[in-house]
Amino acid sequence: MPFLGQDWRSPGWRWVKTEDGWKRCETFSHALEDGNNQLNDISHTVIITGDDENEEGYNTEDCEFAAKKRKKDHFRNNTDSQCFYREKWIYVHKESTKERHGYCTLGEAFNRLDFSSAIQDIRRFNYVVKLLQLIAKSQLTSLSGAAQKNYFNILDKIVQKVMEDQYNPRLIKDLLQDLSSTLCILIRGVGKSVLVGNINIWICRLETILLWQQQLKNLQMNKQVNNGLTLSDLPLHMLNNILYRFSDGWDIITLGQVTPTLYMLSEDRQLWKKLCQYHFAEKQFCRHLIPSEKGHIDWKLMYFALQKYYPIKEQYGDTLHFCRHCSILFWKDTGHPCTASDPNTCLMPVSPQHFIDLFKF
């Protein structure tokens, strides 16, 4: 046997994408290596207490053990789990093979993919929030302890971003509402369901969520002073075209509250009919017809009625992608070391629900 090990055909080196192509990289960065050198110097120090009798108890092995523990605590406290991995992709395998033992879990994928940086990109913000909302509804107990800690760290960054930029607070309110409802059920049923961690930690997390909800409730939108061209100065046909670009009914209602002109345009029957036709099939219309007082179909009420029974189409500026050839999940702009002759033909966009379905066994 050429090599004695659990996996003699290892997956290989770690690779990072650069402007010149894919290059092999070390496991840790130079900054972490410098931290190692500084922590190694600690192992040569002598721990002295006030009692002379205890001085003999500290030998070289104790010092080395203490140094290793300090090094582990250093990385745990000062290293962001989202930035610890150089590659921003993960191989999705659902069963053990000769090359890989075990299988990929939802928590592992959540840790390995760069969600901390993704929320700073406006194209990916809604995608990450929707993914966190789906996890909160059904998959929260499937996350490992490290993944749950990472989940709430990312959620904290999302709330702070909304408080600072005032971007889409309604979406975050829905996420926190679903998360608080799930936690209330899990905490009441402790012992019946699996909750990783002490119950007091989850109670503190629930209190933090309630605090975030109160902060978002008291959020006051800053009124921007601009002497230039405003939305109200645009012609009616341009305002109408803007409304027709919206895919969410609540966004149309919110925009209609800005000015009386926008309110008039937001109540257009044809606008809501197009929205219903975009999200739902005609067979679904027949089951939930809602006529108005004049005998016409009330397409606005129809949209919200259908939304309760059927899922709507989701639109995102950018999503995770899955390579069918390599079975790798990754962000498209970061790429992955694909071995296919034409990688673009193997890519498949992954919706938030599809992301969770990939790790259901």
Considering the domain architecture, whether residues 321 and 304 belong to the same structural domain is answered as no
Q: Is residue 103 part of a domain?
A: yes
Ordered per-residue pLDDT tens for the chain, 361 residues = 444 444 444 455 666 777 777 777 654 444 444 544 544 544 443 333 344 444 444 455 555 555 555 555 544 544 444 444 566 788 887 666 666 655 678 888 888 888 888 888 888 899 999 999 999 988 888 888 888 888 999 999 999 999 888 888 888 999 999 999 988 888 776 555 567 777 788 888 899 999 999 998 888 776 665 667 777 788 889 999 999 988 888 889 988 888 889 999 999 989 999 998 888 888 877 777 777 667 678 888 888 888 888 888 888 888 899 988 888 888 888 878 888 888 888 888 988 988 888 877 5
Distance CA 316, CA 102 (A): 32
The tokens of 118 are what?
A: 């993704």
Contact present, 351 and 312 (Cβ < 8 Å): no
Q: Are 158 and 271 in a shared domain?
A: no
**Are 260 and 291 members of one domain?**
yes
Task: Please check whether residues 211 and 262 belong to one and the same domain.
Answer: no
Determine the Cα–Cα distance for residues 48 and 68; give it in Å rounded to an integer: 19
Domain count, the chain: 2
Q: Please name the residues in contact with 321: beta carbons below 8 A apart, sequence gap of 6 or more.
A: 329, 330, 331, 332, 347, 348, 349, 350
Q: How far apart are CA 298 and CA 309, in angstroms?
A: 17
Is residue 22 in some structural domain?
A: no
**pTM, rounded to two decimals:** 0.67
Domain hosting residue 152, numbered range: 89-220+316-358
CA distance 240 to 217: 31
Distance between CA 321 and CA 351 in Å, rounded?
9
